[in-house]
């Protein structure tokens, strides 16, 4: 139990955990203490001196961001002495600060402005020549104006401690000091993940995002809280728009599941919603060419063709979605196929099949807040730094702040394995089932499994002991774990759970709604159905996916065999160019709905833009087709009504509503947990086939995973984001010229 102490602040008696920082206790109790350098979970800095307070029996004013509360402490935060000292600190900061608020993008959202207004007149004693230091770009994404910098060093600490990148430092000293990468005088730029976290935590306009500068004043911009559409972590963000145009993305001010964290794609990867390449009218193939037509003509054509093909054979029509669709769109798509067309050929195109995992789940999913509290983390496969950045951040937090033991098994030398792992078993590719079998089987077979995995038997024994010694265990499952191995991994917790040990799971699927679309009934069977194109399947309705760009010629050849291909997408993609009909759809910024992230939390997607009026949400296109075909499958006329159907038909979503989501932001779905007592022999039997597939000719992949290999990968959406396309193109040119990748 946490020991508490009693303190008195400005005459108020407060109770707080012993050892907590004084500034945190004050802020949590509504006592305002100005600050610049303080930031939650970062090491105390005491650089700005704005948080000065008077503490009884201390000889001089103290910085409340470095003082830990002690029993009987008496604090004064609002005396004339304290207020004068704070004015003096502001005076020092403004001594070299340019008065360019009218052109600074941070004007109106600047903490320095707020403090100056709060403290009234500042004396302005320092009439010295200001340092005229030029502005430059730290990277293609981040601009830096040294004159505005208040030397709080939040950016350096968040880069070092939270991101574990160490890209920023203090260059030069004294009045000449600037922030940047070492070697900045030689033109070096930031070698980092370009997450923009430093921009987010900067209290002034010293660090700014290049893509949104000079585009809008804060009061002339509408910000909508919504959910990121990129990876499965499901970060919440504030999407800024002006009129009908995208302006910027910022994080949600320490609220939501991700606090102020966003990755490069979350922060900079959404401007495609205002791309000039967006489709805004349906296209119909006439005389071999796709030409623009009206909605009525396109809907009538597709409805007639689908009706004719379905009349001959219901299963000749296939419906495939994508793990990027909203829950509402996926539910409508599945209902259209199952209840309307009555075809058995429907699902989604996805790389990861979590069906067997959820069917065999023996422990609950951990939220990201719970990951931070883990005592032992066992990660089998996966590279969260590159593919699930928020998950990577909370795992690093657990290690850094709570001393969690990170035990990793991977066929690649990932960054998190090199930097945070206490134990790293570097295995041959595809040997995950052998490691899992070693943890289940008796010790006498360890040598055999070690040989299959290309590790030492002692390593497997140490891994098993570390897991058995844990009290709060988090099992992290990467996308490399599939098939029977994934099923056994889901059942593995049943062997570990006990009265003295808590076990939870964290999975790392690749896409924003990998879990939600599966819940809605879209099985990840697209690659299987592809083999039936042109034979048993004659027509395909494809929503939100571009398999030709992602998987290449095999899909291009398969799609060409169809009698009818209908594609619903934002752009004229490589796949859409093969279609007979292309429907233009709304982006995530132009519709209402929900996503379900990897930990099973449902979050709102809120409409920030009205769209052109010529695009439609996916669910609405489905409804239009169903109505034209005379089909009745229960779909209604709004996203909210569709979600009510979801909540009534899918047990995991029971009791969840848009109204609850508006109040609670993120609600975790209830997953069925198997209580069957697992037997090791049954699990080992299930792994036999997977173990037999291990290729013993493969050597270890000793090449470290290159920073940005996943985050910097361009896809259908991000290739339409100018700043990302230009930055990555320049990066590739440098790599080709230097031979360094």
pLDDT tens, 625-643?
A: 999 999 977 667 899 999 9
Residue 519's nearest CA partner among 719, 741, 354 is 354
Q: Is 92 left (phi over 0), alpha (psi -120 to 50) or beta?
A: alpha
Question: For the chain, where do the domains classified as CATH 3.10.20.740 start and end?
Answer: 4-78
Of 70-74, 132-136, 347-351, 723-727, which gets the smallest average pLDDT?
132-136
Fold of the 111-274 domain: Alpha-Beta Plaits (3.30.70)
Kindly indicate the confidence band of residue 497, based on its pLDDT and cuts at 50, 70 and 90: confident
Q: Would you say residue 188 has pLDDT above 60?
A: no
Higher pLDDT, 316 or 501: 316
Residue 378's nearest CA partner among 474, 492, 466 is 474
CATH, domain 4-78, list 3.10.20.740, 3.10.350.10, 3.40.50.720, 1.20.1250.20? 3.10.20.740
Q: Would you say residue 163 has pLDDT above 60?
A: yes
Question: For the chain, where do the domains classified as CATH 3.30.70.20 start and end?
Answer: 111-274
Q: What is the DSSP letter of 289?
A: E
The set of residues, in sequence order, having a beta carbon less than 8 Å from that of 626 and lying 6+ positions away, is: 336, 340, 632, 633, 635
Kindly indicate the confidence band of residue 187, based on its pLDDT and cuts at 50, 70 and 90: low
CA distance 642 to 634: 9
Task: For 96-145, write each residue's pLDDT tens digit.
Answer: 888 889 989 999 899 999 999 888 666 666 666 777 778 888 989 999 99
Domain 283-353+514-668 class in CATH: alpha beta
Kindly indicate the confidence band of residue 52, based on its pLDDT and cuts at 50, 70 and 90: very high
- State the average pLDDT over residues 320-344: 97
CA distance 140 to 723: 7
Question: For the chain, where do the domains classified as CATH 3.40.228.10 start and end?
Answer: 355-508+679-692
Give this prediction's pTM.
Answer: 0.93
Question: For the chain, where do the domains classified as CATH 3.40.50.740 start and end?
Answer: 283-353+514-668
Residue 377's nearest CA partner among 407, 417, 403 is 407
At 138, list the tokens. 């730290």
How many beta carbons lie within 10 A of that of residue 42, not counting itself? 18
Kindly indicate the confidence band of residue 677, based on its pLDDT and cuts at 50, 70 and 90: confident
- State the average pLDDT over residues 223-244: 95
At 100, list the tokens. 């360019």
At 263, list the tokens. 């990755």
How many beta carbons lie within 10 A of that of residue 438, not counting itself? 26
- State the average pLDDT over residues 190-218: 91
What's the pLDDT at 740?
Answer: 47
User: Among residues of the chain, what percentage have pLDDT more than 70?
Assistant: 96
Task: For 551-605, write each residue's pLDDT tens digit.
Answer: 999 999 999 999 999 999 999 999 999 999 999 999 999 999 999 999 999 999 9
What's the pLDDT at 635?
Answer: 62
Phi, psi (degrees; rounded to nearest 5) at 616: -135, 150
CA distance 72 to 88: 29
Q: Would you say residue 91 has pLDDT above 50?
A: yes
Task: For 681-727, write each residue's pLDDT tens digit.
Answer: 999 999 999 999 999 999 999 999 988 888 888 889 999 999 988 88
Architecture per CATH, domain 355-508+679-692, reads as: 3-Layer(aba) Sandwich (3.40)
């Amino acid at each position: 139990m946490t020991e508490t102490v009693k303190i008195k602040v400005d005459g108020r008696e407060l109770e707080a955990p012993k050892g907590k920082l004084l500034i945190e206790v004050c802020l949590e109790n509504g006592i305002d203490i100005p600050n610049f350098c303080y930031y939650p979970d970062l090491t105390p800095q005491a650089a700005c001196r704005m948080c000065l307070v008077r503490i009884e029996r201390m000889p001089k004013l103290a910085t409340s961001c470095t003082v830990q509360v002690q029993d009987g402490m008496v604090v004064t935060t609002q005396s004339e002495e304290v207020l004068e000292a704070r004015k003096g600190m502001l005076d020092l900061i403004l001594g070299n600060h340019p008065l360019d608020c009218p052109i600074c993008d941070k004007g109106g959202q600047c903490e320095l402005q707020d403090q100056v207004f709060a403290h009234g007149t500042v004396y302005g004693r320092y009439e010295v020549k200001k340092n005229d230091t030029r502005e430059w770009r730290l990277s293609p994404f981040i601009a830096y104006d040294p004159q505005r910098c208040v030397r709080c060093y939040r950016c350096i600490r968040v880069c070092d401690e939270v991101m574990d990148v160490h890209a920023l430092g203090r260059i030069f000293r004294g009045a000449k000091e600037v922030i940047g990468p070492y070697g900045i005088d030689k033109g070096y730029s930031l070698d980092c993940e370009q997450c923009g976290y430093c921009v987010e935590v900067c209290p002034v306009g010293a660090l700014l995002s290049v893509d949104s500068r000079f585009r809008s004043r804060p009061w002339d911009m509408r910000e909508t809280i919504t959910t990121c559409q990129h990876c499965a972590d499901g970060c919440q963000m504030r999407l800024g728009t002006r009129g009908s145009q995208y302006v910027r993305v910022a994080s949600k001010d320490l609220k939501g599941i991700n606090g102020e964290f966003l990755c490069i794609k979350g922060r900079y990867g959404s401007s495609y919603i205002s791309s000039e390449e967006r489709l805004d009218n349906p296209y119909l193939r006439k005389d071999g060419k796709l030409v623009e037509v009206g909605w009525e003509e396109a809907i009538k054509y597709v409805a007639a063709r689908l009706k004719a093909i379905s009349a001959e054979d219901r299963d000749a029509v296939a419906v495939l979605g994508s793990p990027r669709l909203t829950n509402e769109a996926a539910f409508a798509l599945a209902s259209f196929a199952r209840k309307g067309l009555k075809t058995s050929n429907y699902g989604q195109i996805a790389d990861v099949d979590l069906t067997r995992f959820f069917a065999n789940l023996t422990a609950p999913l951990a939220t990201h807040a719970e990951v931070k509290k883990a005592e032992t983390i066992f990660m089998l496969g996966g590279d969260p730094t590159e593919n699930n950045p928020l998950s990577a951040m909370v795992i690093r937090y657990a290690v850094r702040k709570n001393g969690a033991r990170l035990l990793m098994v991977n066929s690649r030398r990932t960054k998190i394995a090199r930097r945070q792992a206490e134990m790293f078993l570097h295995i041959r590719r595809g040997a995950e089932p052998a490691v899992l079998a070693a943890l289940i089987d008796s010790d006498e077979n360890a040598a055999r499994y070690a040989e299959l995995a290309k590790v030492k038997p002692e390593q497997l024994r140490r891994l098993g002991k570390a897991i058995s010694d844990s009290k709060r265990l988090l099992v992290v499952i990467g996308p490399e774990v599939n098939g029977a191995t994934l099923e056994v991994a889901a059942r593995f917790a049943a062997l570990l759970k006990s009265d003295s040990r808590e076990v939870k799971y964290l999975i790392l699927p690749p896409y924003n709604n990998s879990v939600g679309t599966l819940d809605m009934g879209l099985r990840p069977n697209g690659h299987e159905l592809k083999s039936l194109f042109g034979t048993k399947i004659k027509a395909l309705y494809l929503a939100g996916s571009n398999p030709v760009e992602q998987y290449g010629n095999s899909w291009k050849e398969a799609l060409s065999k169809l009698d009818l291909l209908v594609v619903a997408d934002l752009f004229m993609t490589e796949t859409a160019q093969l279609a007979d009909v292309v429907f233009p759809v709304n982006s995530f910024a132009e519709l209402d709905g929900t996503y379900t992230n990897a930990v099973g939390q449902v979050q709102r997607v809120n409409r920030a833009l009205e769209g052109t009026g010529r695009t439609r949400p996916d669910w609405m296109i489905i409804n239009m087709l169903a109505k034209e075909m005379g089909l009745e499958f229960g779909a209604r006329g709004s996203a909210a009504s569709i979600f009510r159907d979801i909540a009534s038909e899918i047990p995991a979503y029971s009791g969840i509503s848009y109204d609850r989501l508006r109040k609670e932001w993120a609600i975790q779905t209830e997953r069925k947990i198997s209580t069957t007592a697992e037997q090791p022999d049954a699990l080992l039997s299930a792994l036999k086939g997977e173990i037999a597939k291990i290729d013993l000719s493969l050597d270890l992949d000793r090449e470290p995973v290159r920073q940005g290999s996943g985050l910097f990968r361009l896809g259908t959406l991000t290739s339409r984001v100018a700043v990302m396309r230009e930055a990555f193109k320049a990066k590739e040119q440098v790599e080709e010229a230097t031979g360094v990748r």
